[in-house]
Amino acid sequence: MSTHHPGASAPESEPSRTPVRVLTPAQVAGVTVFPLVGASLALGGMPVDDILTLLAGCGAIGAGTIAAAGGGRLLLTALAAAAVRAAAGAEPHGK
C-alpha cells in the first residue's frame, strides 16, 4: 500500500532552530590564552601550583569585572567573599 497522496499538501518544514551565537574575540581569547600562558610559564620553570594560583586569580578578576559591568552585585559579593576566604587560608611559600 502506498503512502503517496497526489492531492495532499507538502509536509510542513521543521520549526526554525535558535540561531547559533558567534563567539566574541574575548571568549576565544579566554579559552585559548589561559592554557598557552600556563604552558609557557611551566616551560619557563614556574611551579604548577603557582601557575594555577595566578591563572585562577586572573580568572576571578575577569569574572568580577564582567559581574560588575553587568550589574551582578550578588555574584560580585560572593566572589569577593571567596577571595577573602582564600587569601586568609593561604600561606606564603617561603616558610
The predicted-structure confidence for 61-95, as pLDDT tens digits, reads as follows 887 777 777 777 777 777 788 888 887 776 555 54
Q: Which domain holds residue 64?
A: 47-95
Domain count, the chain: 1
* 72 assigned to some structural domain: yes
Q: Which residue has the higher pLDDT, 60 or 89?
A: 60
pLDDT of residue 42: 94
* 51 assigned to some structural domain: yes
pLDDT of residue 41: 94
* 11 assigned to some structural domain: no
* 77 assigned to some structural domain: yes
The dihedral sign for the CA sequence 82, 57, 33, 27? positive
Report which residue type is found at 46: M
* 15 assigned to some structural domain: no
Q: CA–CA distance from 11 to each of 14, 18, 31, 59, 80 (Å)?
A: 9, 21, 43, 50, 56
